[in-house]
Structure 1
């Protein structure tokens, strides 16, 4: 994001106007719901606000404070650029740009248009400082794959030496370290969201994961891994 030198004196007025506008933005509704299929075959639902919703809830406050958004597609030697400008009546301007694939790279004009809309939405939310998408879960793994694979990977068995005939029997192996530790609040919230999205009860989710359900017991790390695998 940048501003040109001749606009430097006008920037304080732009910042002040933007601060007032942000305080007057209307609540943005996540009005789109999509289901994402992961490479591993699992799925999760993701909510976001489309571009029309974002603009309709921010444009009135911007206009009331002398601010306007301008977005345009430009071309340079590296290919097309999407440029987003926030301009103020006193001459200040903030600019942000992102490189994007060409219509030739994407194969058809419709895909190119979809890419423009997608990037326009992200540039607007970043420039205006608004949230219009579901957050990731606590560990930053909404896609779930790396964390899930690590958590569900069985521990590697260590080679066992034969004990002498008169030696006492070795104790039975215990559960892997951390399996019985309580799940974090973020993990519990994540599972609750997934159960709700499935339309299941907790008892049904536990049954699908092959777990015994007891409302009085707290979810463990092992429960979290098993539930996440079926949800």
Structure 2
């Protein structure tokens, strides 16, 4: 905003004085790269628009957000808050243009929601600053410090259950599960069925989503372990059972990636 916009500012102030409490009508549960699950709630674009757009119109304001090229020539969602006086506030939200149409469409929806909430001043997402705090050891670390013997026993039990080589052997690398611990044919079928019911059919998109959900890069679904496949199936089936599954999966994957970047885990291959 390079020029004064007194009429727009005055109208927006009146809108913000009337903003109601926004219902966060969707909750998702995701797992961080460290295997720590958390849930958060947010307002969908439909619910946010239902609350914000009539208030904007009441005070001579309108909001538009359209995909296109950003100032750097890369894909972005460009938005404008316009006043009937001709004044406007504009900006852009960069998004990735990679992936199938469902994935890109989900990113556009995600960007539109964030831009509208930010411009109007609505809190569309649950405040999770407490989860972002990093002042001291995390829960898993504290547990290990309190009872190291218990942790070693648990590790030994897990090794026995997996029928791994003797303790002196090095643990398997990702994608090198012990015999009998790899993904099963029925699990692969369930994964394919779940992705199909969500509407994600592009192989690269599915691998990106699976890699994000299980917490490591995958070049094939056959690299999954049984446990990872179980987690992936549960997540996909949860998404498929709700409304707008394609958009919901895009938002969930984006949330996991954003969380990992925030927690220092943004070095994973895209």
**Could you say which structure has the larger radius of gyration?**
1
Measure the CA separation in 2 of the matches of 1:134 and 1:78: 33
Is 1:80 paired with 2:75? yes
Is 1:116 paired with 2:108? yes
Query: Which residue is 1:97 aligned to?
Result: 92
Measure the CA separation in 2 of the matches of 1:112 and 1:35: 22
Residue by residue, what CA displacement relative to the aligned partner does 1:101-148 show, whole Å, maximum 9, x if unpaired? 11xx2x210000001001111111111111011111536349x99733
Measure the CA separation in 1 of the matches of 2:32 and 2:139: 12
Give the TM-score normalised by structure 2: 0.49
Give the TM-score normalised by structure 1: 0.57
Residue by residue, what CA displacement relative to the aligned partner does 1:34-81 show, whole Å, maximum 9, x if unpaired? 111111222111111000111101111110100000111122563211
Query: Which residue is 2:160 aligned to?
Result: none
1:94, distance to aligned residue in structure 2 (A):
0.6
Describe the SS at the equivalent of 1:14: helix
Query: Which residue is 1:65 aligned to?
Result: 59
Query: Which residue is 1:56 aligned to?
Result: 50
Measure the CA separation in 1 of the matches of 2:43 and 2:55: 18
More helix by proportion, 1 or 2? 2
Measure the CA separation in 2 of the matches of 1:24 and 1:50: 20
Aligned residues between the structures: 146
Query: Which residue is 2:139 aligned to?
Result: 148
Inter-CA distance 88–149: structure 2 relative to 1 (3 Å threshold): same
Where structure 1 has 5 or more consecutive residues not aligned to the other structure, the ranges are 156-231
Q: Deviating runs (4+, > 3 A) in structure 1?
A: 144-153
Alignment of 1:187-198 (within 5 A): none
Q: Cα RMSD over matched residues?
A: 2.6
Inter-CA distance 146–73: structure 2 relative to 1 (3 Å threshold): farther
Measure the CA separation in 1 of the matches of 2:111 and 2:31: 21
